[in-house]
Amino acid sequence: MVIDGKSYAGSGHRMRELGFTPPNLASDNTRFIERRHVFYVPGYDPEARQRYHALFARELGRYAARFDLRLHHVSPLVESVDRQAQTWTVDAGLAGRRTATTFEILLWDDMVRRDMGRPVLASLLLLLLSVGHSLATGTLLRLYGLNRRFAGVIPLYPLVLSAVLLAAGAGIGSGLNRLVGQPAGSWIAILVDVAAALGFAHLAMPLLDRFYLRQLTNDWVFKWQHGNGWREDYAARLDAMAARVAARIDAGGADEITLVGHSSGALAVVEVAARVIVLRPGARLSLLTLGAGLPLVALVPRAARVRADIAALVACDRVVWAEYQAPQDWMNFPGFNPARDLGPSPARVANPLIRSARFRDIVDPEVYRRVRRRPFRMHFQFLFANDRPGEFDIVALLLGPRSLRDRVLAPDIVPLREAGGRAPGS
């Protein structure tokens, strides 16, 4: 909600202002950006390889039809030889200046597809085990305390839907037993019930993929595994991503290097940035996290490395970290501040800059009414072009002539192409 022009998350005594400017925020001598390199890490997305170039080109076209974007040209996609990165370039004109931006997607969708390729029974058993472990350690209750609506999406949604699937399948098995006269409770009847439950869940899974059941199940399991230090393959990929960023720093030529992550990718870029500042102690980075779920891993008791990475960035004045949150997004944690909520604050707090995306202000009212109860659509609003002018503007943040720090601290609102014109719906 908004009170006196400020955004808040929660209600009653739990209400927290959704905004924070760190007292030791780094200075920024770069006023205008002519050449920018953006490293983007997707979330837990099995289709990342096919999604983001097309999504960006589409949304940039929608933005150009509405706002004062004088120039925009998107190059074709180029994939790296190792198939771990994709790049394209954009020339854009905003605020009377021209900026050339290279986008580089750092991919890990191959790991996501491997996770989602598990047998249904294995995924369900891992889900039950991870939920039980998270309850036993108190992690799940702490997460629900930060965002109660989160419980409606992860892990409750896949857990309940999986239980319904198995129960329906077992019901089919019971019906078959009665049809053939098999006594209930016999070992043959039990085997038929179990086989029917698993078979029904397996057959229904492709249909339920449209509702993200398998993706959310394995996403939760992945975060649990990563927090407990059981994903050496992912840790190695983060190292490779950091090495790619370090090589780009060594090459020079960019006025600003920005690491961007959405959803699970937000945690990834935080971990990558922490590695980069160790690899290149003199480097300066901009870091933008959108719809982040940092607590999902950072609150796991054994996730000491993750908490140390976050703490290093909180205290680092060579990184400008901006975090956009949204109370309307069920899958982020509005009001969560890693400088405050992960333990004692360090003596020097240089990050993060936290702001509200204010979706209600930047989305066309008709569209907002249509999508506000669709958690996955609202979660992706961070990556969509605005319908109306606003402080949060993903195109201006990534293609505009001002540095990330300056744009967040003093956002210049990009006007509609026609004064007073109504933005079309999406």
Cis before 338 (ω within 30) = no
| pLDDT at position 353 over 50 | yes
Average pLDDT over residues 234-261: 97
- SS3 state of residue 20: strand
Residue 180 or 6, more confident: 180
Proportion of the chain above pLDDT 70, given as a percent: 93
d(CA 167, CA 194): 10
Cis before 22 (ω within 30) = no
| pLDDT at position 211 over 80 | no
Quickly state the pLDDT bin for 9 (edges 50, 70, 90): low
Q: Distance of CA 285 to CAs 251, 270, 317, 397, 399, Å?
A: 15, 11, 10, 15, 16
Quickly state the pLDDT bin for 121 (edges 50, 70, 90): confident
Average pLDDT over residues 136-162: 83
* pLDDT of the residue at 151: 63
- 5 is written with which tokens? 């022009």
| pLDDT at position 246 over 80 | yes
CB distance 346 to 316 below 8 Å: no
Average pLDDT over residues 218-233: 96
Enclosing H/E stretch for 66: helix 48-66
| pLDDT at position 137 over 80 | yes
Quickly state the pLDDT bin for 397 (edges 50, 70, 90): very high
* pLDDT of the residue at 147: 85
Average pLDDT over residues 264-272: 98
* pLDDT of the residue at 421: 42
CB distance 353 to 22 below 8 Å: yes
Quickly state the pLDDT bin for 29 (edges 50, 70, 90): low
pLDDT in tens, 292-331: 999 999 999 999 999 999 999 999 999 999 999 999 998 8
| pLDDT at position 286 over 70 | yes
* pLDDT of the residue at 419: 54
| pLDDT at position 96 over 90 | no
* Burial category of 363 from C-beta neighbours within 10 Å (exposed 0-12, middle 13-18, buried 19 and up): buried
* Burial category of 179 from C-beta neighbours within 10 Å (exposed 0-12, middle 13-18, buried 19 and up): exposed
Average pLDDT over residues 243-259: 97
Average pLDDT over residues 174-179: 84
Quickly state the pLDDT bin for 188 (edges 50, 70, 90): confident
